[in-house]
Amino acid sequence: GVQDPQHEKIITVTTNGSIHSPKFPHTYPRNTVLVWRLVAVDENVWIQLTFDERFGLEDPEDDICKYDFVEVEEPSDGTVLGRWCGSSSVPSRQISKGNQIRIRFVSDEYFPSEPGFCIHYTLLMPHHTEAPSPSLLPPSTLPLDVLNNAVAGFSTVEELIRYLEPDRWQLDLEDLYRPTWQLLGKAYIHGRKSR
């Protein structure tokens, strides 16, 4: 979470824009803490964050971003959606749960890197989208009642797996019927009945 709210800069979001580390795409300053809170004017929208391909902060230590990092937080419940540093990969897209999202940038007194980061923000309209037909969606994105009805129609596990994992259902099915060592052990102890 953010310790110093006085650092927080509130940005009212009405259109697309971006925020970036100071001096981007050049080396950012040391000993810096910056916090931005993006607030959409319309309460019924989400804010989507997309990181610029040019991304580089001080490398992590033991895979943990301790020194220089950028962090995205969901203000409604304080959940940290992610913390990123280094330069090996560009952070994935992030979407707020409501009409606000908070971004925090921290650099310590050593080894600032370039180019820093740049985050583009856009508004998404969650409540006004037309629902695409269920056949085009992967099952994991379907509404629960639709998924429920679909699943209720299956009579075998195989049909269910084939529906949920169209690309790899055969592999899953093989895994399902391959006995694990725990099962083998019980089968040997209890004889044929449990098998």
Residues in the chain: 195
CATH class name, domain 9-124: mainly beta
Amino acid in the structure at residue 64: I
Q: pLDDT at position 189, please?
A: 53
- Which residues are paired to 79 by β-bridges? 74
* Nearest C-alpha neighbor of 99 from the set 70, 72, 77, 75: 75
What is the residue extent of each domain of the chain? 9-124, 129-178
Ranges in the chain, pLDDT < 50: 1-3, 5, 129, 132-134, 195
Beta strands in 7-128 (DSSP E): 8-13, 17-20, 32-40, 46-51, 69-74, 79-84, 94-95, 100-107, 118-124
Q: Is the peptide bond before 115 cis (omega within 30 degrees of 0)?
A: yes
What per-residue confidence (pLDDT) applies to 177? 65
Cβ neighbours of residue 153 closer than 8 Å, sequence gap 6 or more:
none
pLDDT at 124: 92
Provide the pLDDT for residue 125: 87
Burial class (CB in 10 A: 0-12, 13-18, 19+), 85: buried
The answer to whether 47 and 38 have CB atoms below 8 angstroms apart is yes
For residue 133, the model assigns a pLDDT of 47
